[in-house]
Structure 1
């Protein structure tokens, strides 16, 4: 009973976080149970959140700098961004992927190895002014019309409940990044742990701190974040899909 009351208070207080959303998203550092996280809010009614994979040459952008340079040629710039889902060695998406309404990879509904196949996994669906995270089999049954979509796994939070396979004291610690949706799809939180964390702790950060009833794991040790307003432009191995905001240049 006390735990339910505490969660209710968190849920009632959480909307204040959404007020930080602005052009390019607003990012802040937060500490939860001894681990520091960086979380960025995106207001879907005021901002453009989308996915990118390939550049004009047909090859994956691979880095935030390459994508930003491409956007600048069209009068935009990259606002905030992070890894947009798991990918194969050739950087093609492991699961469902839609960009500008064009499907590049079908929905995968079968259980499989690794984190991606740890069912339930899910799909982030981006529509004009709204976002949703749906469990993959429910997504496949509904076939929603997504302007952009990316599938990853496991689900971190599904309708307010943590993934059933997560262990609270698990020693599987890693950098992790993910995405959560709240406020009926009007607010999206992109978050990354700045230190090693297990799945249980990462999921509770989304549910209990960011107030997202649905959240999806995107990637682990290769996770990178682009948040220039914080002086952060992570570099590393080439990426596959990139999830982020495009804002006017200047």
Structure 2
């Protein structure tokens, strides 16, 4: 009964949401799911903890416990065992985790890493930005939302210098890119892909001069009408959109 009740509640939540602005595109024989934010009916959101201060843990937790009418959602950066962000995290202008300038192992520290951040403008519109961590610190903006992750995928129209063309290190991956006109693209591969090809998809297919990696293996995407993927993986920060 509890399982049936849970899925009934989730179905009702999902059915009440408008469909996300998402599409699928094949690249090097791999399907990519790409989502954008429709400024006329959606606003960007970042979620980490609920009203009781507990991490949502996964997409289903966010759908069930968030007050937002969520249209799509994906994981948005690396996290510690307690699900807290590894790097900078700002939610609705509130700093919840300081920026990390540390070097270390793993993808987060494959320098340069970077920050995806969102400005809320005076007219209540939003603009989207990606900077390397060094450039973000130099510019010191005051974003409404921000998440730090790594590595950068594309840096000023250049593929990350440490990526290897033809690498056999392949995982399901997700990330974000921002175009020269501040259009934002959230992408999840539906099959394993290497860093070089994933970055090239942003650069050549989506024409984003800057793009940032969020994570791999646990990459999660809720984006009706597409099948929700990897929803039971525990994740830390999440990013997406909510109906106005």
TM band (smaller chain): 0.7 to 0.9
CA contact (8 A) 1:43 1:188 kept: no
Other-structure match for 2:48 = 53
The alpha carbon displacement at 1:44 in A equals 4.7
Which SS does the other structure have where 2:108 is aligned? Answer: coil
Structure 2 unaligned spans of 5+ = 1-17, 121-125
CA contact (8 A) 1:85 1:150 kept: yes
Describe the superposition over 1:199-222 as per-residue Cα deviations: whole angstroms up to 9, x where unpaired.
Answer: 000000111111111100000001
Other-structure match for 1:202 = 198
Other-structure match for 1:158 = 155
Structure 1 unaligned spans of 5+ = 1-22
Which of 27, 51, 59 is matched with 1:32 structurally? Answer: 27
After TM superposition, the score normalised by the length of structure 2 is 0.86
Which SS does the other structure have where 1:51 is aligned? Answer: strand
The alpha carbon displacement at 1:59 in A equals 0.9
Q: Distance in 1 between matches of 2:231 and 2:152?
A: 26
Q: Distance in 2 between matches of 1:120 and 1:45?
A: 34
Q: Distance in 2 between matches of 1:45 and 1:112?
A: 41
The equivalences for 1:71-86 within 5 A come to 71=66, 74=67, 76-86=68-78
Which of 133, 138, 145 is matched with 1:136 structurally? Answer: 133
Which of 219, 222, 232 is matched with 2:228 structurally? Answer: 232
CA contact (8 A) 2:24 2:33 kept: yes
Moved more, 217-226 or 23-32: 23-32
Q: Aligned Cα RMSD in Å? A: 1.6
Describe the superposition over 1:55-101 as per-residue Cα deviations: whole angstroms up to 9, x where unpaired.
Answer: 11111011222212234xx4x41111100110011100000110111
Q: Distance in 2 between matches of 1:140 and 1:184?
A: 22
After TM superposition, the score normalised by the length of structure 1 is 0.84
How many pairs align? 222
